[in-house]
Amino acid sequence: MCGMYSVGMAYAGTGNNKAIRGLLHVAVSDVNDDVRRAAVISIGFLLFNSPEQCPNVVSLLSESYNSHVRYGAALALGISCAGSGMKEALNILEPMINDPVNYVRQGALLASAMVLVQQNDHLCPKLKTFKELFTKTMSDKHEDVMVKFGAILAQGIINAGGRNCTISMRTQYGHTNVPSVVGLLVFTHTWFWFPLSHFLCLAFQPTYLIGLNKDLKMPVMKFKSCAKPSTYAYPPLLEPPKEKEKEKVSTAILSTTAKKAAKSKTPGSATPMEVDPPAAEEKKEKKDDKKEKKDEKKEKGDEEKKD
């Protein structure tokens, strides 16, 4: 593994064909997964001066059966195409975000943030989709912890320096920036120990301009830009989720309660309760009925005798 990183550091930014062929051979033939992963990552260091070549070199490796090779292919794209917003690199990384292996998804999230750093919706239309994906992954309770960690780092990378920094391994004069290269190398070892992710800060380069006079005060300056404001506009800030207002549910009114309310409102309309007649009165009524029937029978019998 150290040998693969040594080749990557020795030929960083040169695009040496012999070195690339050697790394590709190790990436597909070595028996150790860590060595294969390091070989693929080192390809990204070799091609950072010609990022347009990296997607073609690692496209097949991104579909490898070996998950360590797929992870290395994702980071190689992120290192070589950092800050470019290259569509070809994003087209390879996008399906890797749904990879069945958790650390491959983590690598795809990190690499996509590195590619999209310092981009906006005008320069890269896919930026909004990836940012929504980062936010969704961080807040998903059912997502793996390793993938969540990658989404959190990706959110920090894409907003680095208040969105005024980019990842670059070249100086402003086009030479290799050694501290940036070393910082990215140590950042790749987050695989073994996550605090090493802080070394990515060595690769950040400011893209803002601050003008000062001899008294170290900011003078009044005006710049004329012929480009549209949307070309260099900041992406919109994240908005907290809006709380939905709870609608008041109307209480159900029964027909009986409505009748009672109507009766109570009208004065003098109270009616006495219907009470069943007492049992004694019922017995009296039954006795009277029996007597009347007996009298009728007697009268009929008397009439028959007279006849």
- For the residues of 149-181, what is the DSSP string, one character each? HHHHHHHHHHTHHHHTEEE-SB-TTS-B-HHHH
Between CA 32 and CA 43 the distance in angstroms is 18
Alpha helices of the chain — where are they, by DSSP H?
2-10, 17-29, 33-46, 54-58, 67-80, 87-96, 102-116, 127-139, 145-158, 160-163, 178-188, 255-265, 279-306
CA-CA-CA-CA dihedral for 287, 290, 295, 301, to nearest 10: -150
Q: What are phi and psi of 199, to 5 degrees?
A: -70, -10
In this prediction, residues 129-141 reach a mean pLDDT of: 88
Contact residues for 69 (Cβ-Cβ < 8 A; gap 6+) = 27, 28, 36, 37, 40, 61
In this prediction, residues 221-241 reach a mean pLDDT of: 77
Between CA 90 and CA 97 the distance in angstroms is 11
User: How far out from the chain centre does Cα 101 lie?
Assistant: 18
Prediction pTM value: 0.73
Q: Which two tokens stand for residue 128?
A: 């909004």
Closest CA relative to residue 102, chosen from 143, 138, 47, 64: 143
Q: Which two tokens stand for residue 45?
A: 């260091």
Between CA 120 and CA 134 the distance in angstroms is 16
In this prediction, residues 187-196 reach a mean pLDDT of: 91
Q: What percentage of the chain carries pLDDT values higher than 70?
A: 84
Q: How confident is the model at residue 305 (pLDDT cuts 50, 70, 90)?
A: low
In this prediction, residues 150-164 reach a mean pLDDT of: 89
CB 40 within 8 A of CB 58: yes
